[in-house]
Amino acid sequence: MFTADDSEWSPDTGRIDWADEMDRISPEGKPSKSTLPDSQNHIDEGKGIRTEISYRYNAKNQKEKITRTYKIEKTAVPKGIALRREWTKFGEAVHDKDGVDMATTKESEEICFRLTTNKDELELGIPKELSGLIDKIKDIAKNESKTEIPTQPTEQSKALPGTYTLPHTRPGYNPGVGGGGYNLDDPQPAVKISNLSLDTTEQDVKELLIAFGRLNRLHMPKDRRNRDSHKGVAFATFQRREIGERVIQKLNGHAYDHLILKVEWSKSQRPRN
Amino acid sequence: MALIRALMLLSHEGPISQIKYNRDGDLLFSVSKTPPAMVWRTDTGMRLGTYEFGEKSAISCLDINKDTTRLVTGSAGNMIRLWDCETGACLQTVTTQTSVRTCEFSSDGQIIFYTTDAQRKISPELAILTLKQFEGGAFDYIAQTHITDSKVTAATWGPFDQHIITGHENGSLRFYQADNSAKRVQVLRNEQIHKDTVTDLKMTSDKLFCLSASKDFTAKLSTSDRLENIKTFNTDRPVNAAAISSLRNHVIIGGGQEAMWVTQTHSHTGKFEAKIFHVIYEQEIGRVKGHFGPINSLAFQPDGRGFSSGGEDGVIRMHQFPEIYYDFEFDRFKFDR
């Protein structure tokens, strides 16, 4: 009933950067809406499908056709409810927009809903399976920080003074603990992409990587404090190792959304049994 | 775990004082400390209408009759108003001595009771009115009594509308029954259930048990025939509202710090979530976050497939339970081990 299927989007609709926003304001002004064809509405009674076709201009001044298909569902309700469906708006609500007015009704952000008898899970929001693991992880982290890793100057650290060096190529860079979790000996090792900007969505990364070859799995760890956000890291596994190599070769040091990406093979942080 | 989205109903300007579903669950009525009263469609969250008040006094309670034709509201402006649900027209008003705290229709919708607060030297009052005359213009008091010891803070009709169950400021629950010949109400039973003010009183759908919420950090389930406390739900906060599911053995409890302390604390520490408890094991099984202030009113959908909460922040949040709600089984063997 509520599903909308946007089938005919031009490929260029997506994120709009503030820089693009400036470009859109052309000297001639915005394109006049009158040149667009009227939106159409077809109802297929037999199939119970309503099709809505509308047109608009996109950021590049190209005409776009948007087709939305809705499935019409009929449900039986008690007589009282059916009669009340006919009620019209009254009082202050008369001034609201038709249907659901966004000024009075909004959808909230996503809320975690879980039912559990585990107290940790209720209070900290940590899944039951993981609550025992936290102590283990803390132990591992403690042990690892004890063994000091001698830092070796790499080739990139000899860069000319005044030129920008990536944070991870600077001398004395300590990758620290965390992240990872993939083994290099795996037949399909993961590629770790870090220094992603927080505006980047999983879809963006997918679009970026899909050009190189078949993607097996993409994982972007969520920020534990802010569930809407991620940590700026993505792990991707490809079907073949060569694809991963090409991604690292092409994308490491590549500028993406005002930040410079760091792409490398993901290192396993815990030894495998 | 599942991610759900609540529908936020944002039109109220003041803190929500009470929300109620109608019997079929297709409409949600709400009143706040700033008029008007409002009605919403529960399937889309659309605001269907408002009930316009002449004056600007806080509305404290509402009730809808069983066939959703009449709405009754009680306000701090010493006024009981009867409304036509469909058009929003005010049909009748009754002036009371002091501000109204609770009001409710009887099952047949022909009788209402109301209770009032204490003001200056006027002691709180419990009154029962018949509605037939009420609608015609002249209304008829079946009973009217001043309650001198402790004011009524929550009240509801008992089983078969034989008596009124009241919750009091001193934490007691009582039965009041009308004495028709004397036009008075009299106390049938008086049980000290809570240690502090009773804030909410709800009946199960079969009216066998009543759930009372209190500022003493607990909500308690008592039998509705003898007011015996059988279950206690302990929390870490004053409880302002409670509701019982008609579908599963769950109650939902909401509250938080008092409004006067809210500005001094972070929303994480204010404990403003709604908590879901298992009725039989008295154990907390879930939390639903969202409000930025204490929850003042909670209502389960009559079919038990969702609930709504109204908060001090003036927002009503309507939730639909995800699939996992129905799959959840309490781990009953945990205690056997």
Distance CA(A114)–CA(A130), nearest Å, equals: 15
Task: Give the phi and the psi of residue B61 in degrees, each rounded to 5.
Answer: -155, 160
8 Å CB contact of B7 and A107:
yes
Is A266 among the domain residues? yes
B2 within a domain of the structure (yes/no): no
**Chain B residues closer than 8 Å to A116 by CB:** 285-286
Mean pLDDT, range A162-175, rounded to an integer: 65
Asked if A226 has any chain B CB less than 8 Å from its own CB, the reply is: no
Distance CA B304, CA B247 (A): 5
Asked if A90 is an interface residue toward chain B (Cβ–Cβ < 8 A), one would say yes
Instruction: Please check whether residue A76 lies inside any domain of the structure.
Output: yes
**Whether A117 and B11 lie within 8 Å, measured CB to CB:** no
Predicted local distance difference test score (pLDDT) of residue A187: 54
What single DSSP character describes residue A221? P
Interface contact A113-B321, CB threshold 8 A: yes
Cβ atoms of B59 and B75 within 8 Å: the answer is yes
DSSP one-letter code for A115: B
Mutate to test the interface with A, among B12, B21, B23, B24 (most CBs of A within 10 A): B24
- Chain A residues within an 8 Å CB radius of B45: 100, 105
Long-range contacts of A222-231 (CB under 8 A, 24+ apart): A227/A110, A227/A112, A228/A109, A228/A110, A229/A198, A230/A196, A230/A198, A230/A202
**Strands of the B90-95 sheet, one edge to the other:** B59-64, B70-75, B79-84, B90-95
Which pLDDT tens digit goes with each residue over A197-255?
Answer: 888 888 888 888 888 888 888 888 888 777 778 888 888 888 778 888 888 888 888 88
Q: Is B50 in CB contact (< 8 Å) with chain A?
A: yes
B102 compared with A174, residue with greater pLDDT: B102
Structure token digits, residue A131: 């609550």
Strand locations in chain A (E):
40-44, 49-57, 63-71, 105-113, 190-194, 215-219, 234-238, 255-256, 259-260, 262-265
Domains contained in chain B, number: 1
Q: Which of B26, B40, B328 is nearest residue A84 as measured by Cβ atoms?
A: B26
Q: Mark which residues 124-163 of A lie under 8 Å from B by CB.
A: 127
A105 in reach of chain B (CB within 8 A): yes
Preceding amide of A189 cis, omega within 30: no
- Of the two residues A9 and A115, the one the predictor is more confident about is A115
Which one of B277, B287, B291 makes the best mutation probe of the A interface by having the most chain A beta carbons within 10 Å? B287
Rounded-to-integer distance, Cα B190 and Cα B8, Å: 40
Question: Which of A79, A111, A120, A222 should one mutate to test binding to chain B, selecting the residue with the greatest count of B CBs within 10 A?
Answer: A111
* pLDDT top residue among A129 and B147: B147
Q: What is the pLDDT of residue B71?
A: 93
Judged by DSSP in three states, A182 sits in coil
Whether the CB-CB separation of B252 and B306 falls below 8 Å is answered with no
- The H or E element containing residue A128 is helix A128-131
Which residues of chain A neighbour B73 with C-beta distances below 8 Å?
A: none
Residue A146 one-letter amino acid = K
Q: Which chain B residue shows the shortest CA-CA distance from A84? A: B86
Q: Least CB-CB distance to B288: which of A91, A105, A111? A: A111
On whether the CB atoms of residues B85 and B69 are closer than 8 A, the answer is yes
Return d(Cα B229, Cα B109) in angstroms, integer. Answer: 29
B268 part of contact set with chain A, CB < 8 Å: no
pTM of the model: 0.67
pLDDT at B24 over 50: yes
Q: Tell me if chain B has a CB within 8 Å of the CB of A122.
A: yes
- pLDDT of A60 reads 81
Closest residue of chain B to A79, computed from CA coordinates: B24
Which residues of B are less than 8 Å from A103 in CB distance? 10
Hey, what are B301's tokens? 């959908």
For B180-215, how does the pLDDT look when each residue is reduced to its tens digit (9 = 90+)? 787 888 888 899 999 999 999 999 989 999 999 999
pLDDT at A174 over 90: no
Domain boundary among A85, A103, A130: A85
B1 found inside a domain: no
Query: How many domains is chain A built from?
Result: 2
Helix (H, G, I), strand (E, B) or coil at A73: coil
- If one compares B23 and A1, the residue with the highest pLDDT of the two is B23
Is A149 within a domain? no
Query: Is residue B93, in this structure, part of any structural domain at all?
Result: yes
CB of B54 within 8 Å of a chain A CB? The answer is no
Secondary structure letter of residue B161 according to DSSP:
G
Q: How confident is the model over B263-312, as pLDDT tens digits? A: 555 555 557 889 999 998 888 888 888 888 889 999 999 999 999 999 98
- Got the DSSP string for B196-222? S-EEEEEE-TTSSEEEEEETTSEEEEE
Residues of A in contact with B37 (CB under 8 A): none
Does residue A251 form part of some domain?
Answer: yes
For chain B, the straight-line distance linking the first and the last C-alpha, in angstroms and rounded, comes to 26
User: Would you say residue A200 lies in a domain?
Assistant: yes
What distances in angstroms separate CA A238 from CA A187, A189, A200, A210, A248, one per listed residue? 10, 8, 20, 9, 12
Sheet hosting strand B229-234, strand order edge to edge:
B198-203, B209-214, B218-223, B229-234
Cβ(B113)–Cβ(B165) below 8 Å = no
The size of the A-B interface in CB pairs under 8 A is: 124
Q: Is residue B337 part of a domain?
A: no
* Rg (chain B; Cα; Å): 19
Residue A131 inside a domain? The answer is: no
Residues A185-194 have a mean pLDDT of 72
Assess if residue B141 is contained within a domain: yes
B292/A contact by beta carbon, under 8 A: no
Residues of chain A contacting residue B40, judged by C-beta atoms under 8 Å apart:
105
The conformational region for residue A213 under phi > 0 = left, psi -120 to 50 = alpha, else beta, is: left
**Shortest CB distance from B9 goes to which of A105, A114, A116?**
A105
Buried b (16+ CB within 10 A) or exposed e, B134-165: beeeebeebbbbebeebbbbbbbbbbebebbb
Of residues A104, A107, A115, nearest to B285 (C-beta): A115
Among residues B135, B126, B53, the alpha carbon closest in space to that of B96 is found at: B126
Helix %, strand %, coil % of chain B (to 5): 5, 50, 40
Comparing CB atoms, the residue among B68, B88, B325 nearest residue A80 is B68
Radius of gyration of chain A (CA): 26
Per-residue pLDDT tens for A14-67?
A: 445 555 544 454 445 454 555 677 777 788 777 778 888 888 787 788 888 888
Q: What value does the mean pLDDT take over residues B252-264? A: 72
Q: How far is A59 from chain B (nearest CA, A)?
A: 31
Burial code (b: 16+ CB inside 10 Å, e: under 16) for A195-218 equals: ebeeebeeebbeebbeebeebeeb
Q: Is residue A27 part of a domain?
A: yes
Nearest Cα to Cα of residue A206 among A190, A217, A192, A194: A217
Confidence check: pLDDT of B324 > 80: yes
Instruction: Locate the chain B residue with the closest alpha carbon to A96.
Output: B47
> Which residue of B26, B45, B324 is in closest CB contact with A81?
B26
Task: Return the number of other C-beta atoms located less than 10 Å from residue A84's C-beta.
Answer: 20
Per-range mean pLDDT, top range of A64-68, A136-140, B112-116, B254-258: B112-116
Phi, psi for residue A44 in degrees, rounded to 5 = -95, 100
CA distance A94 to chain B (A): 7
- Give me the domain span that covers residue A38: 18-85
H helices within chain B, ranges in order?
131-136, 259-262, 323-327
By residue range, what is the domain housing residue B268?
7-329
Residues of chain B in contact with residue A96, where contact means CB-CB under 8 angstroms, are: 47
Q: Minimal Cα–Cα distance from A120 to chain B, Å?
A: 11
The domain that holds B317 is classified in CATH as 2.130.10.10
- Report if residue A151 sits inside a domain: no
Instruction: Give the residue from chain A lying closest to B87, CA to CA.
Output: A90
A115 and B286 in contact by Cβ < 8 A?
yes
Is B57 part of a structural domain of the chain? yes
ipTM score over 0.85, yes or no: no
